[in-house]
Structures are given as C-alpha cells and as structure tokens.
A and B are shown apart, each in its own frame.
Chain A
C-alpha cells in the first residue's frame, strides 16, 4: 500500500518551508529513523526522518522548491513489489493545502470580561450573642493551626524556625510540644526547595501549612506556588489538586527597608487557581485560617507583623470558621464606601471615625479574601453610597484597588457620582529612614482626603 509523505511542520509556527535537499532517491529503501530530506523553516534547516518503512516510489516535490505548504505530499513510499509506475506525477510545488489540521473551531463564546456579581452574603459569621474574649492575632493564628491539626492527622506545619524556636514571630508557639517533630518541621533556609517539597506532599495526599518567615522570602519559591500549586488542577483536567496553605507576614513591618517591606496581595491576586486571604482582625484570622487549611485549593494567607500583637474580640464558639470569598462590613454608612483589607483596614477605620466627627458616614468593607473577591459586596455598597475609596499598602500600578475600580466601572458605572480613588503605598521601594518610611506608607490622613475629594467636601 502506498503511503504519502507529507511536508512536515517542524516548529510551533511553521506554515510552509523550503525543501532544501533530498537525501534519498526513488527506488531507495528507507526505514524508520532514516533521514530523508533537509527542510528549511523560517528559523533553521531541519533534518526530516522517515517514520514508516518502505521503498521510495516517487518524489513529488523537487529539491530547492520554496514555499511548500505544510501537509503537501512530497513523496510516496511503496511496499516491496509494489508498482510505482502508476503513481501520480510530481505535483507542482505548493499546490496542496493542509486538510489534516484539526476540524475548524466553532467561534468560541466571548470570554466574560469580569465575573458576574455574586449574590451578596450578609449573613453573620458567628451568632450575635456569642461570648467574646480578647485575643491577639498571633494567638488566634496559633489556635487555628492547633485546632485543625488536632482534627486532621494529614495537616502539618513546615517552615524556618517553626518548631524548636517556636516561630520567628512566635505564631507556632507550643505546637512542637503538642504535635511533635513529625508534624511541626523546621526546614533549612531554602524556600524554593521546601515550598516544592510541601507542594509535592500535597499532591501525595497531605495538607501542608507552609510558613514563610516573611512573604518577601517566598519570592524564592514563587515558581512552585504558581506553576506547581496553582496550575496543576487545571493542567491535570481536574485529577490532581493541591490542598496547601502558604502563610506568613506580608507587607511593611517597621524600619526593615525595601527588601523586607513589600505587599504581595496584588501579585498573588492575579493567579487563577490560587485563593488569597489577607485578614485584619483576630477573629477573621482564626476563622479564615481554619477555612484555608480545610480548603482543597492552594491558599496564600497574607498576615501582618504589626497586627500580630494586636488584640480583638474573638467569639468563643466551637470550630470558628469564616468562609473564603466573603467580605465583612465593619461599619455601615451612606456617604462613601471605603474598601480595604489587612492592615489597610486600620487606616480605613480610623478615617471613618474621624470623618464621622465631620458628619460624613463612611461604610467600611473588609475584603478579607482578595481572591475570589466578593465584588458583589462592594457593588452593593457603591449602589447605596455612589462613592468609592480603596485602601491598601501595596504599590499603585497593578494594585488591588485598580482591579476593584475596573470592576465597579463595568458593573456599577451609572451609580458612581465621583471617580474612584485608590489610596496605596507610594510608588517607591521602601526607604529605611524613619521619616521617609512614614511618607512611603498609606496614611489615615490620605484616606480622609480621598473621601473628601469623592464626596466633594
């Protein structure tokens, strides 16, 4: 049976090429792996090997022919004893056009530009009459890990200084004593490596909590976080998920300068497959971390060193969880919506207090989860207040606030009575000098000024 040899595509972008040289002639016997021809693509001259065995019955495209389209028959192989005289004569170069390409694609539905606004969930996270106790964010995070580790043997904690040192920031205080060295594991200073090992262990059925001493160091590991943890479920067609939490302090602390003072919320927010959490209060830190540990997806959990020692009311309920992707309205108001998260909430709430003294009632929303983002809660609020200010510590270009602005523009443009203002950190690496550092950070006064601008006061 005669087999047509087709002009091959020899690069991801090749559509045609030059048949530079034949290394075989009619009547030759070829077997799999023999080099038959040299073909010039737009990038290089490639050797073209035989796949099938046979005798060259006919060469259809002469050497030196340019512009031979991919999938044009260039030669015919016959089996031993087969008559090649009946084969068609050489076709003119570049005559045939590919028919072997995949079936024509139906026009795909246009990608949705932005997610549809979810139904706003205004349900309380815990019973209104729950008994409260003051607890620091530090203690709340530790309790969250301890409770989840008690409940699930597959949960373990890994990171630098998490065990014997009791945590560089004392978040894991007491965990080694309770759970032992098998489940509370000190690592060498090797973020890329241990993040990869943790991700692999999640593929293997465990539920790791990876503590980065700070998220600045997680940049060493960002390939494993994004390429391995976030994308594998999709790349495996849903077979292999990665239940893992990457947590640690994020953003500026105090006087630690540029390499130790960066807010990564906007970086991780961009990645489909990741969930990104950035709590402000102790109750949310606890409830969200517990939910993050149980979540079957990779979660980036951004904490803040300055908030670690701050105390908040924490409801004394069994198994306090807060759902990921649900914003919290901290303060209701009618004149302007202020949206923030993490330590930005401190400035948002301070500003709201001061603005109230001047008769401006701000509604303050804590996103708590940056991805998936509860844009419904923001839009719902903007429809009431018609004005929006966002507050974050990160840089302005490609910020969380920038994304929120675009969503509100698309989904609630007609409700806006003023341009949205994004209060952010300044567009500079963090300086060391105390006065300059203060200037680089977002401030309560800036939030107040922004609110006055959008309310035309």
Chain B
C-alpha cells in the first residue's frame, strides 16, 4: 500500500477538486447504502463494493472524452456512477427491479449503458479484458480516435486471456488503456501469495506495452496518469498499462468475513490514505471550500443516494413476461 504522498502544490482548481469530492463521495455513500440494502435482504446474490477504491475510477474518468468506452469486472457500481449512469437505475438493478438499468435481469455484476459507453459489468474474472481490447479494435477499425478503459483487478491479472490480449493489443496497436486496479487481494488471496511479480505492470514489458504504477488513493495522481495514457493511445501508439495501487475496505463481496487481513491493516489505510479525506483536506487547506460547503455537498449526496434507494424499493419487480424477452435481437 503506497502511503499517500499529497500531490505537491496541486495545480488544480476549486471546481475540479469539488467535482472529484462529489463524485467519490457519491460512490462511497451509494456503496454504503447498497451494503445496507443487502443487509435488509433487498439486494440478493453477490454484491461487491467499491469502498476505498473511489479515486481510481474518478481519476481515470477525469481524462475521458465523450465517446470513450469503459468496461470492467463485477465490482462495477463505482464505474457506472463515475461515467454518469443514473444512481436510481443502478440501485434498482441491484434490487432486481423493473427500473434497473438491465430491467432487473442483470443484477449487480451485469449492467450496461450504450448511452454512456459503459460495456459492463462482467462476472467472469478476466473475460472483460479481451472484450475491452475488442472495443478498442472497433474504434481503430472505424478510425474514430476513441480510447477504451479496460479495468481489471490483481486477481484477473493472472488469467491467461489477459496475456493473449496484451499480445494482440500490442501487435495491432489497439487504443486501449489496461487499468489494473490492484487492491492487493484476489478475493482472499494476498497478491504475494498469488502473483510472482510485485508490480504487475512489468508484465506488459514482455509485450512491448509501456506502463506505470499509480497511487490509487490520490485522485490527482490517477488523473495525471490517465491523461498520459489517453494521450499515448490517441496518438496511435497502442496500449498502455496503469497499475493503480488501491485498497478495498470491505470484503470481496458482502458475504466475505475478510479474515485474511487484520482489522488494523484496514484501519490504517482508512486513517492514513483515504482518498476522499485527501481531497477534503485539499479543499479545506487550500481555502477552496469551508466545512459548511462540504456539509452541504454531503447532504446533497445523501439525498441523491436516498432517492436512489427509494426508487430501488418502489420500482416494481419486472413483469413475468420479461423472462422471455431480450434473448434474441
């Protein structure tokens, strides 16, 4: 866990910082609410929370332009919120209701938005990696200058198809940014017990793909790295790897007791490296915002999340006819 090095004298506007604060807080509060609804039995099955990792997706998205694509694994709620998908639609999908983004048929792990260029939400570890390269393949084929953010975890980084994809992405110079969200645990297996190399991005070198390590608890550092990677891809230089070191505060899924790490380990990250606290400090110390300003944002976010939760409870279950629709186009 890279301890946070506060970006020195960040050259960043109040508006920008406030945006990151708001977006990260939305993810955090949304996920806490999802955890609560899970506890109440309103959300079923598997539910993987993004708490602790918020700066990764918010920082990456800061460098995205309209039309750029993104795809990720099953820990996907944060990615959807960060690319502007409706919190009510996401939450209603978690509760399996008609108002969900997949009409209640996909659930937590399988959500999509053509409008926001969000291509899932994939439940098979590593499967989204060739799919993401395929999205980039389509963009290159169409010569439209778009890039694809393909997210996967340190666990997925050991799947064979990732390296099949690295090979072809480099060979065909696909405009894809591989974002390794390294939260240090593949479910319950610490990286050191599953992965032969300490820094996973090095593996890209074997394929001629440049990459770097990014402090995933610092949204500004993530944004800076994202801009560099995007510029590389848009310049037609092929793929780029960002290994973003981050940490998830909660278990792998809601039913994970997380006995593979100590409470102290989690507490230390929360206290010393929390990505939202980081931006909060920057806002306050830079006199960009007052405590009252931030309280107002907190209140506003809480309201959005509560509305999403209400919608997700009130939206009816899908009609029984839905069982038989959307099987064939």
A residues in contact (CB < 8 Å) with B: 6-12, 14, 32-33, 35, 41, 43-49, 51, 70-71, 98, 100-103, 105-106, 108-109, 111, 156, 182, 187-188, 190, 192-206, 223-224, 227-228, 232-241, 243, 272-273, 275, 296-297
Contact = CB atoms under 8 A, between A and B. Distances in A.
Interface string B121-139: 1111001011111111111
Contacts of A234: 105, 326-327
A9 B39 contact: yes
16 contacts: A8-B36, A9-B40, A33-B51, A44-B255, A102-B41, A188-B167, A192-B164, A193-B165, A200-B71, A206-B141, A224-B131, A233-B329, A237-B101, A238-B329, A240-B114, A296-B329
B8 interface: no
Contacts of A101: 41-42
Interface string B112-123: 111000011111
B130 A196 contact: yes
Contacts, number: 216
B124 A200 contact: no
A interface SS class:
loop
Interface string B302-329: 0000000000000011001001011111
Interface stretch (B76-84, B189-197, B233-241, B256-264): B256-264
Given A101-B41, A235-B105, 11 more contacts: A32-B32, A102-B96, A192-B130, A194-B130, A197-B165, A197-B168, A201-B138, A204-B69, A228-B127, A235-B121, A237-B326
Interface string B85-122: 00000000001100011111110001111100001111
Contacts of A273: 327-328
B158 interface: no
Contact of A237 (B45, B105, B254): B105
Contacts of B249: 33
A240 B9 CA distance: 44
Contacts of B36: 8, 51
Contact of A197 (B32, B96, B137, B320): B137
Interface size class of B (residues with CB under 8 A): 35 or more
A384 B165 CA distance: 54
A203 B134 contact: yes
B123 to A, nearest CB: 8
Nearest to A12: B45
A297 B263 contact: no
A51 B33 contact: yes
Enumerate the 3 nearest inter-chain pairs by beta-carbon distance, A residue then B residue, closest first: A200-B134, A196-B130, A193-B164
Nearest to A7: B39
Nearest to B131: A200
Contacts of B42: 100-102
A6 B39 CA distance: 8
B167 A193 contact: yes
Contacts of A98: 40-41
A290 to B, nearest CB: 18
A42 to B, nearest CB: 11
Contact of A224 (B41, B127, B328, B329): B127
Contacts of A70: 39-41
Nearest to A108: B320
Contacts of B100: 237
A153 B133 CA distance: 20
Nearest to A71: B40
Interface in B33-62: 33, 35-36, 38-42, 44-46, 51
Contacts of B258: 47
B113 A239 contact: yes
Contacts of A35: 263
Contacts of B232: none
A235 B165 contact: no
A61 to B, nearest CB: 14
B247 to A, nearest CB: 13
Nearest to B117: A204
Contacts of B103: 237-238
B161 interface: yes
Nearest to B121: A235
B160 to A, nearest CB: 7
Given A44-B259, A227-B127, A235 B106 contact: yes
B171 interface: yes
A195 B110 contact: no
Greatest chain B CB density within 10 A among A103, A105, A205 is at A205
Contacts of A12: 44-46, 255
A165 to B, nearest CB: 17
Given A51-B36, A196-B165, A235-B112, A11 B329 contact: no
B119 A203 contact: yes
A227 B106 CA distance: 12
A199 B133 CA distance: 10
Given A101-B41, A102-B95, A108-B320, A182 B130 contact: no
A100 B120 contact: no
B142 interface: yes
B255 A43 contact: yes
B162 to A, nearest CB: 9
B288 interface: no
Nearest to A273: B327
